Copies of this chain bind each other. A is one copy, B any other.
Amino acid sequence: MAPTPVTDRGFGPARHAELALLLEVAGTPKPGNVDRRHDLPDLHFEHFLTGAVGSAEGLSLAESGAPVGTAFETAVAGMSRQGGGNTQFGCLLLLVPLVEAAAAGELSPNGAADVAEATTIDDAVNFYRAFEHVDVAVGDAPDAAADLDVRRGGDAEPALRDRGYTLYDVMELSADRDANAREWTGGFARTFRAADAIRADDGPVTDRVARAFLDLLAEEPDTLVVTTHGESVARDVMARAADASTLAEAGELAADFVADGINPGTTADIVCAATFVALERGVPL
């Protein structure tokens, strides 16, 4: 006899966040991304498992109320101790404020927005430092903000302090072109909506994750695809995701996207954050 699925695991937010990292990468097919059934040439499933375990210390700091920037940089440093490179930078950027909101008993769009808006200049500095641990694909900074290019890492500290930019301000700077920054400045709207979809869906959590990914991918251009392949390819990816109405059709897309080097990583970040919210609010597993 099969045991009954468990909805309340008694996990704290940090453990749920770690589990969300694992369930996100286990969800298959997520076309173009590493998942349980797909590796990329230099980025493998086991790198994500290792990245998730390595993130745990930083996630635990977030649960205990450490500053967002400190928790995030610690999580990224731990995540980076594997040979795949950037596995979950974007996931962690969304998870850390959500874990802080959950630990404060305020896991809601307003609660998450409060955490984001309360960030400081020090949080911004630690966010920049996190880029020193791992190579993250980002677009060029606007000319007016060249001294705030994230690729400068901790060297951007004087510019941040001169301008008095908090981490929230930094996110506002790129919210027009970065879907994760838009989550930060918009009360994590897509995250919470996708979490509701995951909870309302049926079947194994990993299938729910895959369907949520497909829906999000059809909804907006993926930021990482825009960065690496341009806006028109990202629009084409959206249209093709919209045409895939089943996980089987998504599986065919997966083969095409991997062949074309199309990796919708930002959409995976949002699915990961949504999985966290769904776990916190209750999803049987």
Contact = CB atoms under 8 A, between A and B. Distances in A.
A84 interface: yes
Nearest to A8: B81
Given A11-B81, A53-B15, A26 B45 contact: yes
A267 interface: no
Interface stretch (A16-24, A92-100, A255-263): A16-24
A83 B3 contact: yes
Given A56-B15, A56-B56, A46 B204 contact: yes
Contacts of A52: 22
Contact of A50 (B9, B45, B82): B9
A33 interface: no
Interface in A182-236: 204-206
Interface size band for A: 35 or more
A5 interface: yes
A65 interface: no
A151 interface: no
A42 interface: yes
A10 B57 CA distance: 12
Interface in A12-36: 15, 18-19, 22-23, 26, 36
Main secondary structure of the interface of A (DSSP, over half): loop
Nearest to A25: B49
A69 interface: no
A284 B68 CA distance: 31
Given A2-B42, A3-B85, A37-B37, A23 B9 contact: no
A186 B58 CA distance: 38
Interface in A46-62: 46-47, 49-50, 52-54, 56
Nearest to A39: B204
Contacts of A84: 3
**Leading 10 A-B pairs by shortest Cβ distance:** A5-B83, A2-B42, A9-B81, A22-B49, A3-B85, A19-B53, A6-B81, A3-B83, A46-B206, A6-B82
